[in-house]
Amino acid sequence: MAKSESCIVICIYSALFFTAPLFHCVLGGNDGIGVTYDGRSLIVNGEHKLLFSGSIHYPRSTPDMWPSLIAKAKEGGIDVIQTYVFWNLHEPQQGTYEFSGRRDIVQFVKEIQAQGLYACLRIGPFIEAEWSYGGLPFWLHDVPGIVYRSDNEPFKLHMQNFTTKIVNMMKSEGLYASQGGPIILSQIENEYTLVEAAFGEKGPPYVQWAAKMAVSLQTGVPWSMCKQNDAPDPVINTCNGMRCGETFTGPNSPTKPSIWTENWTSFYQTYGEEPYIRSAEEIAFHVALFIAAKNGTYVNYYMYHGGTNFGRSASAFMITGYYDQGPLDEYGLTREPKWGHLKELHAAVKLCSTPLLTGTKFNFSLGQSLEAIVFKTESDECAAFLVNRGAIDTDVLFQNVTYELPLGSISILPDCKNVAFNTRRVSVQRNTRSMMTVQKFDSSEEWEEFKEPIPNFEDTELRANKLLEHMGTTKDRSDYLWYTFRVQQDSPDSQQTFEVDSRAHALHAFVNGDYAGSAHGTYKEKGFSLVNTITLRNGINNISLLSVMVGLPDSGAFLETRVAGLRRVGIQGVDFSEQPWGYKVGLSGEQSQIFLDTGSSNVQWSRLGNSSQPLTWYKVLPIINSNYLEFKCSRTDLCYCHSLLIGQTRFDAPPGDDPIALNLGSMGKGAAWVNGRGIGRYWVSFLTPKGEPSQKWYNVPRSFLKPTDNQLVILEEETGNPVEISLDSVLITKTCGQVSESHYPLVASWMGAKKQKVRSAKNRTRRPKVQLSCPSKKKISNILFASFGTPSGDCQSYAIGMCHSPNSRPIVEHACLGRVKCSIPISSLNFQGDPCPHVTKTLLVDAQCT
């Protein structure tokens, strides 16, 4: 049923646009234009497809980065680029749409198309995505009677409106595969199963409605719902998670393919937590298992490139860098060995395409925790996946041949005879990223400051006799909300206990203009308290409490009812929650937009003082060095005033095209702007259990910079020291490879051999190799270590072992020095003699790129 339904949709649609003959559909619909599916896979323009997909979110990088990110994904064996659509970015005010710059989704999809890849559009429009408010625009909060994500008319109206807007936009640009465009799949809703029960009887009808609404938009390509086992036909239910090869219960119909929309390459990171490092080996194992054990024919990496949560776009407690541990790091540099190992996996799996897409599957045991999964076509084309789920390395006998199978790994045999890839054997290079300071702002002369005024009750316009809810009051125009009140004391100055309970994320207290303590919550705990001793004076005391959100929540049911802000305020046990309160939304520096050139002069900046006060704005001064103010005369007696040339200089863009980051390691908590563009919130003072900041470097995209005269503005909530801020280059400085003689030849040489119809692994000319390459424009400048023999250790720490060829260094230097990339076959022949016969040898090379 599912198939014929989706098929009819496609026929009507393609008939409208292409006058495609209707009998295509009647005959099965698989060879028409557009996308259908069956139990095996997606069918794109009539062809069954085995697809690797990678998530890249367009607003988390800049348009000038898109072409290279997409190109690197393509080179890594990715067929599909998947992105969410960010509603609150596109419709910040109801009916006001924005689609320029980083919001230019059409341009992003067109770039994907230009590079010959497919696109998957996850419209949501609720997306979670560690994005503020899960992508919902905050104005929805004030729509009367609204209940998000349930069978609720106001929500459905707005959801349909936006979904239709996006679909029509894509259609009018001809971007659906049914129109010859790249979009082959889209998504409606997002992980709804997690909240469905909370909505009771309002849940299931909403799922039905969402599916029907989406399908009625007639895109000519299928819709999916992730983590939604009851996704209504013809919508495909898909798996999200880290281990879909083990956990996925399968499509909910035999006519739907097995799709993994989120195979997490790492995990999001919140302030106070360590990064989640997921190894290349582990990801490769679960991808191979999903394909073999769960008939998977579509795997998406979430994230392939995570990028940056610029400005205030991160959701509650999320750090500004997003999935820096992905195959492409935050700056778009390849993270090795993850990128390269997955590239080899993709190539190995693609060698199995025909048996996987058209063959019959068998599986049998090869011993305890050992399994062979074999796909065979009628014409005997065969591919095998040998799985070791156990905890020890084992030799297995498969079709009369013995294979070495490392613990917790899968070997891929695209011809059922020769191993092309093992998920645990990493033969690609590993690289090291370093930060190199290119500019310091280490003179207090270079900075100016503006101390944010602390408002008193009299300074506020918004009043209430109670504690207002934070988000509903700021309407997300700012992270900050001032709560102020007055206390009359009719006795001499005295110390008093002060207690505040908050459901926001952080709090800074001021009494009579003086700082009186801070407190903050964590991602996991809702709510926190500030308990302190304050001094109250005889007479009227002004209490000003700054409530801070570090992003809006992004998940869970009934998001519209979520509360934040102060809940109770007490002094010496007396409750002050219900008495006159004065409110001020945002900071005055924000209101004056002092991070913009145009707003900078709205406040009085002053020279850097010697004591830092919480809540201070800093900016890098124009450099007007008195030396340069002198007239200078050249030999030809031409005199000029130097200050005219550099008087406007604030800081120059570092030369070259290496990515740039601000090292904010000396700061506490706040936000930063470069040329008026928010590079994100920082929170260096919130340390991880290991005592480190969760994030010290903050991405400054090259396109935010001008060649000269760049403006840097920092808002510091605590007492960080701006004089230690530096601008650093992000560089891959080292590359290292370690491959043993017993390694399988690289997939690339396997493929080369296959093309030549040479399918014997016994061909001794195909050798494992160490392959190294430096990122663009860099060359191998120094061999730090080279040993062919039995070097000990790994790329992190190594030493020469019992066996070592004296020719190691000269051979490697000859092959690599001065080159962008090099390849060294691992054979005694290549090293002019066997340093230790009958011993399995390894080549370990560590090299420097400059």
Ligand X SMILES: *[C@@H]1O[C@H](CO)[C@@H](O)[C@H](O)[C@H]1NC(C)=O
In the complex, what is the shortest distance from the CB of residue 640 to ligand X, in angstroms, rounded to a whole number? Answer: 37
Closer residue to ligand X, CB minimum distance, 31 or 246: 246
How far apart CA 284 and CA 345 sit, in angstroms, is 7
And the tokens for 74? 């393509």
- The smaller minimum CB distance to ligand X, of residues 417 and 567, is found at 417
Which of 454, 489, 485, 510 lies closest to 568, judged by CA?
A: 485
Q: Assess 287 for contact with ligand X (CB under 6 A).
A: no
Query: Which of 443, 760, 776, 840 touches ligand X (CB under 6 A)?
Result: 760
**Count of residues that bind ligand X according to CB under 6 A:** 39
- Which of residues 149 and 278 has its CB atom nearest to ligand X in the complex? 278
Q: Does 172 bind ligand X (CB under 6 A)?
A: no
Is 277 a binding residue for ligand X by CB under 6 A? The answer is no
Nearest-angstrom CA–CA distance, 386 and 380: 18
N-terminal to C-terminal alpha carbon distance within the chain:
60
Q: Which of 279, 532, 733, 763 binds ligand X (CB under 6 A)?
A: 763
Which among 262, 281, 446, 449 is annotated as catalytic?
262
Where are the extended beta strands (E) located within 253-330?
258-264, 296-305
Distance of closest approach, residue 350 Cβ to ligand X, in angstroms: 19
Specify the residue, 34 or 251, whose C-beta has the smaller distance to ligand X. 251
Residue 94 makes contact with ligand X by CB under 6 A: yes
Kindly state whether residue 458 participates in binding ligand X, applying the rule CB under 6 A. yes
Q: Tell me the H-state helices in 336-390.
A: 338-350, 353-358
Q: What is the footprint of ligand X within residues 783-842 (CB under 6 A)? A: none
Place of tokens 């407690």: 317
Residue 229 makes contact with ligand X by CB under 6 A: no
Q: What tokens does 266 get?
A: 């790492």
> Is-catalytic flag, 452?
no
Judged by CB under 6 A, does residue 542 bind ligand X? yes
Select from 241, 321, 337, 614 the one that contacts ligand X (CB under 6 A).
241
Site for ligand X contains 376 (CB under 6 A): no
247 scored as a contact of ligand X (CB under 6 A): yes
For residue 574, the one-letter residue type is V
Binding mask 582-601 for ligand X (x = CB under 6 A): --------------------
402 versus 756: smaller Cβ distance to ligand X: 756
399 binds ligand X (CB under 6 A): yes
Q: Whose CA is closest to 727, among 620, 828, 849, 587?
A: 620
Sign of CA dihedral 836, 838, 839, 845: positive
Nearer to ligand X among residue 399 and residue 601 (C-beta): 399
Residue 191 annotated to the active site: yes
Residue 334 bridge partners (DSSP):
328
Q: What angle do CA 111, 117, 119 make, to 5 degrees?
A: 80
Q: According to the binding rule CB under 6 A, does residue 364 interact with ligand X?
A: yes
**Structure-block tokens of residue 797:** 């720490």
Query: Is the CB of 20 or the CB of 159 nearer to ligand X?
Result: 159
Neighbours of 424 (CB within 10 A): 20
Tell me which residue of 644, 457, 478, 452 sits closest to 550, measured CA to CA: 478
Considering only residues 456, 675, 699, 808, which one is a binding residue for ligand X as defined by CB under 6 A? 456
Location of structure tokens 């026929």: 11
Residue from the set 30, 45, 489, 512 that interacts with ligand X by CB under 6 A: 512
- Does the protein bind ligand X through residue 640 (CB under 6 A)? no
Q: Are strands 574-575 and 566-571 parallel, antiparallel or unpaired?
A: antiparallel
Compute CA distances 109 → 100, 112, 173, 565, 720, whole Å: 14, 5, 10, 40, 41
Q: Does 354 bind ligand X (CB under 6 A)?
A: no
Q: Which two tokens stand for residue 844?
A: 């370990």
Residue environment code for 349-381, b if the CB has 16+ CB neighbours within 10 A, otherwise e: bbbbbbbbbebeeeeeebeeebbbbbbbeeeeb
**Neighbouring residues of 379: CB distance < 8 A, sequence distance ≥ 6:** none
**Active-site position among 130, 191, 273, 717:** 191
Q: Whose Cβ is closer to ligand X: residue 369's or residue 592's?
A: 369
Positions in the binding site for ligand X (CB under 6 A): 94-95, 157, 161, 241-243, 247, 250, 258, 267, 293-295, 360-361, 363-365, 371, 399-400, 456, 458, 512-513, 537, 540-542, 610-611, 753, 756, 758, 760, 763, 765-766
Residues involved in catalysis = 191, 262
